[in-house]
Structure formats: C-alpha cells, structure tokens
Amino acid sequence: MQRVSSSLAPEFSLSRIAFGLWRLTDWGYSPAERVSLFERMLDLGVTTFDLADIYGDYRCEQFFGEALRLKPQLRERIELVSKCSIRLAGEASGARINHYDTGAAHVRMAVETSLRDMGVEQMDLLLLHRPDPLMDADALAKVLETLVQEGKVKQLGVSNFLPHQFDLLQSRLSSPLVANQIEASLLHSVAMFDGQLDHCQQHRVIPMAWSPFAGGRLFSGTDEDAVRVQQELKHLSAARGLNAEDGPMQLALAWLLKHPSNMIPVLGSGNPQRLEAALSALELELDREEWFELLRAGRGRDVD
C-alpha cells in the first residue's frame, strides 16, 4: 500500500488508509480474534491504527493492549495514533461535564494512562483531540515536547483544529505538528473550502479524515442530501462496472483520496471483508468530471 509522509518529518509515514478502532469494544471479538484482525490489516498494508483515550468509554485502548500482549511482535509493524484532551462526564473520568483539558497535568496523565492501557512504551503520533478554549499554548507546548523527549510520543499532531488554533500551538513548538485529523466526507466537504485542508496542504501537514462515510449516512441515510449522494454513487458504480455492494463505498473513498492534500481516511469497520473491499479504492482513479459530479451530489449544487 502507498504510504504518506511529510517533509516536516521525512522519516515518519502513515499508511494511505488508517484503521479506526473507536468501536473496538463493540465488535465482540476475543483478544485472539482481535490479533487476527490486526494481522489481516497489517498484511494488507493498513499499518496506521487510530485510537483515543476516550474511545469505548475509555476502554478501547485496553482492548487493544489486551490483544497486543498476546502477540507483542505486532507492535513494531503498527503506527499507533492516539488522542487526549477530551474528558467525558461519567464514572471513568470522574468528571461532571464533558469538557476539554489541555493542561499539562492532564495531558501527561492521559498519555501515560494510554501507554499503560495499550501496553506500549511509545505512541507514534499523539493528537490533541479538540481545540480547547482554555489552551495555554506555552504550557501545552512544554509538556508535549517533554513527552517527545522522554520517548513517550514520537510525533505530535492535532485533531479538529482550525488553522488559527493550529498556528497558535505550532508557534510555541519547536517540533512540527505533522497531522490534523478532521471530519471529511462527501456529506461534509466544508474543510475543502474553508481553509482547513488548504492550511494542511500549504504547511505539509498530513490530514486524516474521520467519518469518511459520514457515520453511515453515505450508504443508509434517508435525508435528502444522503439520498442524492447514494444515487450518484450507485450511478457511478454501475457506470464503472463496480460490484453493487462495494462500489459506492470504494467511490466515496476514492473521492477523498483524490484530494491533493493526501488525506488519510480512517476506516472504522470491524468487518475484515468490508475493509479489504474498501482498499480497492486505492486503484480507482476518478476523473475530474466524476469528482465534481460527486461534489455536486454532496453539496446539492453546482460549482459557481
């Protein structure tokens, strides 16, 4: 599989498609079954695994770690991405209200807990999960760089940061922020127009796309926008002679993959057949007219 890297950190690379584990606790797999799934992904070249401390109500990282302990040699084949800074209300965090915490104490605690839960010594990429209105960029930069120096984190990035939030944090860091994980799909293409992806392209930041299928709406949504996209995807899938079941998904991915920012879609299915089918998107090259037809379906209007 293709790899994506950035001149910001030339030796660091991610797989062109990432494996999202935010529903790992829902899939009902035993630890041994998880190992099988991970191995299948790795064998397909999907080496970037995306997690966050809060996924599965703070349990996904433990589920990952439980599997990894069965086969520790998988660790070196994976780029392990995790996130911190959201605190969900509830027993697990002890918080009364969903909130953000980019304070140094919480970030250090969260990273160390993640490492312990996953049973690893380092995460390859740590993302600040959400922009925090209380972000003290000097203090945050200091703890992030310390975590890098201590070897607990290899590379730094953010998620859902707007350009000005990215620039503020980057202005205090000597290490580059190498990635920004944002929402992007045929039903949520605003990042292609409002500067988010232009900022990534300009500064050679790797975008990762969460919810690349709009949380399923792309295939099963019943709202007007979703239905219009479904029709266009079906039409194009038939025109291309693709499998009726997988074609729409492959085209939706190919649409993201064509964006010049080298966006990495994060696929969160626990069904290995479906994941494997999705990877065929890498061989689909949409032409510009097809791409703009899909864009029109997604936005419900022609370009100006």
Q: Which residues contact a copy of itself by CB under 8 A?
A: 87, 95-101, 103, 130, 133-137, 139, 160, 162-165, 167-168, 171, 189, 192-193, 195, 198-199, 201-202, 258-260, 288-289, 291-293, 295-296, 302-304
Cβ neighbors of 6 (< 8 A, separation 6 or more) are 12, 176, 178, 204, 205, 206
Instruction: Kindly state the helix (H) or strand (E) to which residue 183 belongs, with its residue range.
Output: strand 177-183
Residue with smaller CB distance to a copy of itself, 46 or 233: 233
Residue with smaller CB distance to a copy of itself, 80 or 263: 263
Residue with smaller CB distance to a copy of itself, 188 or 199: 199
Ranges assigned E (strand) in the chain: 3-5, 13-15, 18-20, 48-50, 79-84, 86-87, 99-100, 123-128, 153-159, 177-183, 206-210, 264-267
Q: At its nearest, how many Å lie between a copy of itself and the CB of residue 258?
A: 7
Mark whether 58 is an active-site residue: no
Quickly list DSSP for 31-52. Answer: HHHHHHHHHHHHHTT--EEE--
DSSP 109: H
Q: At its nearest, how many Å lie between a copy of itself and the CB of residue 107?
A: 13
Radius of gyration for the chain, computed over Cα atoms and rounded to the nearest angstrom? 19
Q: At its nearest, how many Å lie between a copy of itself and the CB of residue 1?
A: 21
Residue with smaller CB distance to a copy of itself, 38 or 100: 100
* Catalytic pick among 29, 55, 58, 100: 55
Torsion over CA of 49, 50, 54 and 57, rounded to 10 degrees? Answer: -60
The residues that are catalytic are 55
